[in-house]
């Protein structure tokens, strides 16, 4: 026991004097968790709280275009920036290229007329299917009404230029900057479509009502028909019934804590190689003590390091994040489960680092392979891209990654509000990986005649 | 009394080869009496370092046996290792630790208790002139100071047998003299020394028994005086060249 204590003391002293190693183990993960969470939170707020600037070039003088823009504005997703309807598509492109806005909307000159024409066509078809005279629908569009009058106005304006308007699909153009991610672009597109659909539906309803009743649709009825939509409520599926939507902190703190733990490979793996290659190792091999004591000491020392890492990062999430405007970290209710998952994650990280240290022949091998392999295991383990978004071919690799099981266990506790029994399968997988890594290290040490 | 008559080291029928190479040692035999100051010399590639590594358990022989004070060395039996100390040619300590911290750690691994380590650390640091720098990192020391730390760690547990692999390489005259004097003191206190070096004048000063080895075989082995008298030489260097030739050996 005294030998073990002396060895732990030695390891702690060597570790405390390795400033670069300490920066790798504590400074970098803290910086990483701060930066990544801030960025993700800002993206989250961009989508959920801030409005996206939308350049609007309205070339249509009809009321339906105005109604469409009012509907777009009402969604609350966009900050509308109107530009002159006379500017060309190239000018809109230039402004987006210069990032005046990331999205641009060009409403064509015959926008209102096309919607009216489309409404008439649809109404006509409905009347025919009802066995009614479809000519009434045509007259509905030409009717004018001071209050509502959008369709009539629109139709009038089209009529005034004497053109025959086609009811083909609407050529509304959406320009976007290539930096805009697909998922974000699709969200914006969906919002614009819903606004467009609202305007179209209103117009069809008005035209149909007029064709049937030969009078205009009352405002109250229109409101009742169009605004009384079935509500959509988001409910996160949690085990503890918590309805809080998980935020960037809940996602990032567990993920980067695991990443930090596994990054002890830089200090521990290369430390073992350094010890093997320098003279002190020759002396250790001649002394009446097994090298297993040294390995055991390193396991204890670095396991404590990983627990401190987790403690520091969790504390940052709980106390520093709210101070700097980031969402606070909400801890799981099952503290023993959290401690067990943290302990096993740390032990797995240490086992991995020791395995690298036992088999690597040079510090460069340990550092290079160690660091790159952790990034790869993190990527396939779902730390960088959610595991559900992984291609099917990656699922096996994902199951081999210890970081995946750690993350799943943490997510079970932090995001799903689970308890120990809910993450037992992840814990068992983690334990099996630890056993495999320890067995491999033991075999390597035996083969090299070190224990 | 029985221990006194038992040799410190007995090597019998020892053979060794590195993988894929011809045997370096073939049925090698050697006896080092307890209490002697034994010098092991030979040109580069003669097998000195390999023999030293076999004697200290760093390498395992293909066949044959090595006994320390009558106890057979075996890879699975580390208890024998407490009988000897080893001062390797390379600095064998942690440069980020102080001499005290190094001695605390290696003392524990040598089997000493806390209080014994404390007493022995103070004693060695004083004897070897390191007491004033006891709290400085060894990495900041001069070559001579590092050699003394290397020696102190090798003897902290008062071994009965001390293996020294070029313990004075790269040090100044003062440090060399201090180290040789200390080794003589240790020997007077009963420690058997097995020493290897290319400093033959230093060896003449320190050793009372000498073995010259070449190509894995002993070419001469006796007390220093008897060896010089037998070959009618007045110094170890002349004897060395006569028995091993003048051709380069490390090509």
Write down how long chain B is.
Answer: 251
Nearest Cα neighbor of A268 from A367, A130, A131 is A367
pLDDT confidence of residue A228: 66
As beta bridge partners, residue A79 has: A53
pLDDT at B2 over 50: no
Task: Extract the runs of DSSP E, i.e. beta strands, from chain B.
Answer: 9-16, 25-32, 37-41, 63-68, 71-72, 84-87, 161-165, 192-196, 209-214, 217-223
* Residues A289, B111: C-beta atoms closer than 8 Å: yes
Question: What percent of chain A is modeled with pLDDT above 70?
Answer: 85
Is B153 in the A-facing interface, judged by CB distances under 8 Å? Answer: yes
- Direct distance between the N- and C-terminal alpha carbons of chain B, in angstroms, rounded to an integer: 48
pLDDT at B50 over 60: yes
Give the span between the Cα atoms of A351 and A302, in whole angstroms.
Answer: 10
For residues A378 and A403, is the Cβ–Cβ distance under 8 A?
yes
Question: pLDDT-based confidence at B124, cuts 50/70/90?
Answer: very high
* Residues B108, A6: C-beta atoms closer than 8 Å: yes
Which 3 state secondary structure label does DSSP give B185? helix
Give the span between the Cα atoms of B47 and B41, in whole angstroms.
Answer: 10
Is A1 in the B-facing interface, judged by CB distances under 8 Å? Answer: no
Chain A nearest-CA distance from B208, in A, is 26
pLDDT confidence of residue A170: 55
Give the span between the Cα atoms of A261 and A444, in whole angstroms.
Answer: 23
Question: For the segment B134-152, what is each residue's pLDDT rounded down to a tens digit?
Answer: 999 999 998 889 999 999 9
CA distances from A297 to A8, A324, B22, B82, B97 (A): 5, 39, 40, 21, 17
Return the HEC string of A16-59: HCCHHHHHHHHHHHHHHHHHHHHHHHHHHHHHHCCCEEEEEEEC
pLDDT at A117 over 70: yes
Is B170 in the A-facing interface, judged by CB distances under 8 Å? Answer: no
pLDDT confidence of residue A245: 62
pLDDT confidence of residue A336: 93
Residues from chain B contacting residue A5 (CB–CB below 8 Å): 108
Out of B82, B91, B114, the one facing A288 most closely (by C-beta) is B82
- Quick one: average pLDDT of A79-99? 88
Q: In chain B, which residue's Cα lies nearest the Cα of A290?
A: B78
pLDDT confidence of residue A141: 42
Out of A6, A10, A282, the one facing B92 most closely (by C-beta) is A282
Question: For the segment A5-53, what is each residue's pLDDT rounded down to a tens digit?
Answer: 999 999 999 889 888 878 888 888 888 888 888 887 776 666 666 678 8
Question: pLDDT-based confidence at A434, cuts 50/70/90?
Answer: very high
pLDDT at A157 over 50: no
Q: In chain A, which residue's Cα lies nearest the Cα of B87?
A: A283
Give the span between the Cα atoms of A59 and A62, in whole angstroms.
Answer: 9
Is A3 in the B-facing interface, judged by CB distances under 8 Å? Answer: yes
pLDDT at B202 over 90: no
* Residues B108, A3: C-beta atoms closer than 8 Å: yes
pLDDT confidence of residue B101: 95
pLDDT at A149 over 50: no
pTM for the whole structure: 0.74
* Residues B58, A9: C-beta atoms closer than 8 Å: no
The answer for residues whose C-beta is within 8 angstroms of residue A85's C-beta and 6 or more apart is: A57, A58, A59, A60, A109
Strand order across the beta sheet in which B209-214 lies: B84-87, B161-165, B192-196, B37-41, B209-214, B217-223
pLDDT confidence of residue A147: 29
For residues B162 and B185, is the Cβ–Cβ distance under 8 A?
no
Question: pLDDT-based confidence at A154, cuts 50/70/90?
Answer: very low
Element at A79 (helix H, strand E): strand A78-83
Q: How many CB atoms lie within 10 A of CB A408?
A: 22
Chain B nearest-CA distance from A305, in A, is 19
Task: Look up residue B78 and give its DSSP letter.
Answer: G
Is A231 in the B-facing interface, judged by CB distances under 8 Å? Answer: no
Question: For the segment A223-254, what is each residue's pLDDT rounded down to a tens digit?
Answer: 777 776 777 777 766 666 665 666 778 888 89
Residues from chain B contacting residue A288 (CB–CB below 8 Å): 78-82, 109-111
pLDDT confidence of residue A140: 42
* Residues B84, A286: C-beta atoms closer than 8 Å: yes
Question: For the segment A399-431, what is each residue's pLDDT rounded down to a tens digit?
Answer: 889 999 999 999 888 888 888 888 999 999 999
pLDDT confidence of residue B230: 84
pLDDT confidence of residue B1: 41
Question: For the segment A328-379, what is each residue's pLDDT rounded down to a tens digit?
Answer: 888 888 899 999 999 999 999 999 999 999 999 888 888 889 889 998 988 8
Residue with tokens 């390498």: B59
Q: In chain B, which residue's Cα lies nearest the Cα of A451?
A: B76
CA distances from B48 to A451, B23, B93 (A): 26, 14, 23
Task: Look up residue A149 and give its DSSP letter.
Answer: -
Is A16 in the B-facing interface, judged by CB distances under 8 Å? Answer: no
């Amino acid at each position: 026991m005294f030998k073990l204590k002396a060895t732990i003391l030695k390891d702690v002293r060597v570790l405390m004097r390795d400033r670069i190693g300490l920066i790798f183990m504590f400074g970098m993960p803290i910086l990483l968790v701060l930066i990544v969470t801030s960025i993700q939170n800002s993206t989250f707020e961009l989508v959920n709280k801030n409005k996206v600037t939308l350049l609007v070039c309205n070339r249509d003088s009809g009321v339906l275009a105005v109604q469409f823009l009012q509907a777009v504005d009402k969604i609350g997703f966009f900050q509308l920036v109107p530009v002159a309807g006379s500017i060309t598509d190239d000018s809109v492109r230039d402004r987006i290229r210069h990032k005046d806005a990331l999205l641009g909307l060009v409403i064509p000159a015959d926008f209102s007329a096309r919607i009216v024409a489309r409404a008439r066509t649809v109404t006509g078809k409905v009347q025919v299917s009802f066995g009614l005279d479809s000519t009434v629908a045509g007259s509905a569009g030409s009717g004018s009404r001071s209050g509502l009058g959008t369709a009539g106005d629109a139709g009038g304006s089209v009529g005034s230029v004497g053109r025959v308007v086609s009811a083909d699909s609407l050529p509304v153009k959406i320009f976007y900057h290539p930096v805009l991610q697909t998922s974000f672009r699709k969200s914006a597109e969906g919002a614009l479509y819903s606004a467009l659909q609202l305007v179209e539906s209103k117009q069809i309803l008005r035209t149909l009502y007029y064709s049937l009743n030969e009078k205009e649709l009352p405002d109250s009825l229109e409101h009742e028909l169009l605004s009384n939509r079935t509500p959509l409520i988001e409910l996160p599926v949690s085990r503890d019934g918590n309805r809080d939507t998980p935020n960037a902190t809940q996602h990032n703190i567990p993920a980067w804590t695991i990443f930090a733990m596994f990054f002890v490979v830089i200090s521990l793996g290369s430390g073992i190689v350094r010890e093997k290659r320098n003279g002190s190792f020759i002396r250790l091999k001649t002394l009446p003590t097994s090298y297993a004591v040294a390995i055991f000491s390193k396991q204890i020392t670095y396991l404590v390091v990983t627990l401190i890492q987790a403690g520091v990062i969790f504390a940052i999430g709980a106390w520093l994040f709210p101070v700097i405007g980031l969402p606070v970290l909400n801890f799981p209710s099952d503290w023993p489960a959290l401690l067990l998952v943290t302990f096993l994650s740390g032990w797995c990280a240490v086992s991995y680092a020791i395995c690298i240290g036992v088999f690597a022949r040079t510090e460069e091998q340990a550092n290079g392979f160690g660091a790159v392999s952790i990034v790869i295991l993190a990527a396939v383990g779902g730390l960088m891209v959610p595991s559900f978004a992984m291609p099917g071919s990656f699922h096996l690799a994902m199951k081999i990654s210890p970081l995946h099981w750690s993350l799943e266990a943490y997510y079970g506790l932090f995001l799903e509000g689970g308890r120990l029994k809910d993450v037992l399968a992840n814990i068992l997988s983690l334990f099996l990986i630890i056993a495999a890594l320890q067995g491999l290290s033991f075999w390597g040490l035996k083969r090299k005649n070190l224990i | 009394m029985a221990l006194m008559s038992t040799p410190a080291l007995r090597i019998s029928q020892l053979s060794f080869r590195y993988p894929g190479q011809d045997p370096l040692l073939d049925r090698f035999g050697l006896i080092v009496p307890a209490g002697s100051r034994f010098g092991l010399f030979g040109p580069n590639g003669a097998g000195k370092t390999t023999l030293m590594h076999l004697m200290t358990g760093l390498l395992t022989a293909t066949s044959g046996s090595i006994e320390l004070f009558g106890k057979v060395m075996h890879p699975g039996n580390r208890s024998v290792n407490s009988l000897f100390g080893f001062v390797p040619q390379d600095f064998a300590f942690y440069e980020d630790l102080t001499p005290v911290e190094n001695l605390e750690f290696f003392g524990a691994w040598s089997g000493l208790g806390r209080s014994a380590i404390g007493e022995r650390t103070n004693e060695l640091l004083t004897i070897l002139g390191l007491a004033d720098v006891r709290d400085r990192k060894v990495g900041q020391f001069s070559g001579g100071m590092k050699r003394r730390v290397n020696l102190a760690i090798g003897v902290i547990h008062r071994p009965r047998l001390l293996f020294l692999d070029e313990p004075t390489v790269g040090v100044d005259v003062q440090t060399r003299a201090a180290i040789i004097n200390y080794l003589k003191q240790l020997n007077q206190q009963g420690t058997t020394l097995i020493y290897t070096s290319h400093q033959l004048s230093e060896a003449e000063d320190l050793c009372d028994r000498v073995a010259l080895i070449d190509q894995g075989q002993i070419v001469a082995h006796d007390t220093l005086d008897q060896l010089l008298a037998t070959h009618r030489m007045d110094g170890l260097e002349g004897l060395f060249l006569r028995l091993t030739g003048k051709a380069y050996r490390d090509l």
